[in-house]
Structure 1
Amino acid sequence: MARQIAPRYWSAKVTQESFALGLEEGVFTWHDPKRIAESLKRSAEASTRRKAPPFRSAMSMLVFYINRAGRNLDENQKRVLEQAKDELRALYGKG
């Protein structure tokens, strides 16, 4: 029986085909932190598959992407994504 070979970067598949959130195309490449946060919030609140509250689901996906992109993430984009975390907290009143 032949073994299936796993994709090289499983984390890329998670961000592209998340079962918890239906993400907008290219959300993590946008340059507006508020727009990113609002999109994540919409996705989390619309999801019927998430296992955690919307805030936690949205924040988890954002942190997951930042951590998995790691050193390959452009410094400017990393700064935008870190600001998106603050925007997400503000949208949910968790500041």
Structure 2
Amino acid sequence: MAKYSEKAGEKVEKAMHEKKKGTLKTGTGKKVTSKKQAIAIGLSEARKEGAKVPKKKSS
């Protein structure tokens, strides 16, 4: 399992809370419904702030 920084964990936690409340939105403005999507958004925000987060997987 990859190690994430504490800041990354906080961002993911915040995104999950927003998802539960129904206020988390995608880049296009649609409501986030999946847990995976909320985690991805949290990690992306942490990455932008320079937190220790592994690179995105390219498929």
> Normalised by the shorter chain, which TM-score bucket?
0.3 to 0.5
Provide the TM-score with structure 2 as the length reference: 0.40
Q: Higher RCO, 1 or 2 (CA under 8 Å, sep at least 6)?
A: 2
Higher helix share: 1
Larger Rg: 1
